[in-house]
Amino acid sequence: MPTRKPKPVTIKLVRIPKRLMRTDLERRLPQNGKSLDLAGREFKLCRAVGFAGYLNGNSAWLCKCKCGKLFITRTINILHRPTACGCGGGTMQRHGASGTPENDSWRVMLATYPNDVCERWKTFTKFRADMGRRPNGYVLSRRDRSKPYAPGNAVWVTRSQAMKGKKCTRLTYHGKSLSMREWAVQIGISYERLRQRINKCERYGADISEALSTPAGKAMPCTKDRYGRPKLAR
């Protein structure tokens, strides 16, 4: 016999420990202050303590793992699959920080520069201990790009600061040599649109000047009628 769904009831926001507060957590009640009340409900690997707010538009709860640690997760997670703080419900030793800004930056660092990361930082808990929390809107960057990511050579910086030290592709046309972003401004199109133009020139074997000389809002002449099929290896 199918079980009945619990009726929506009025709930309140629970107090969140300062160490668990996240920039992507919206501290607000559901519409009309009503939702499924999971407070005190036991699940396979955790117990719901109280309503925490919203994570990316999804309702979230403060939960207590079987190992004793508090964590915040979306309602859909605890309702539809065994969810713990990251320790596997006390069966595994994990950091419990998956999905945090620091963990995202650590994963990108390892995926992008696998050979330029010190041995210590190949473990997330050590990376987090050295770098601390990532400020909102910041990214990970190296002070000296000739040296690997390591304590003392990495820092949280704004995106504009990170771009200043990077080498950029420069394109020369009619004696003028500019970066792709500068050419995009000159033409009056977005950087992404200019990249699409350049990729199209490469596919059809057209000269790169077509991407730089075609005015904004106009189609480039490198089409199938002029160059035939794209020169892509199948």
- Write the pLDDT tens digit of every residue in 7-53: 555 688 899 988 888 888 888 888 776 678 888 899 988 999 999 98
Quick one: how far is CA 2 from the chain centroid?
A: 40
**How many structural domains are present in the chain?**
3
Residue 214 domain-assigned (yes or no): yes
Instruction: List the structure tokens of 73.
Output: 């997760």
- Write the pLDDT tens digit of every residue in 85-119: 876 555 544 555 667 888 888 888 888 788 889 99
Judge if 151 and 124 occupy the same domain.
yes
Residue 68 domain-assigned (yes or no): yes
Distance CA 55, CA 14 (A): 15
One-letter identity of residue 60: A
137: number of CA atoms within 13 Å, CB side?
3
- Write the pLDDT tens digit of every residue in 162-184: 666 555 567 888 888 887 778 88
Q: Which domain holds residue 176?
A: 170-218
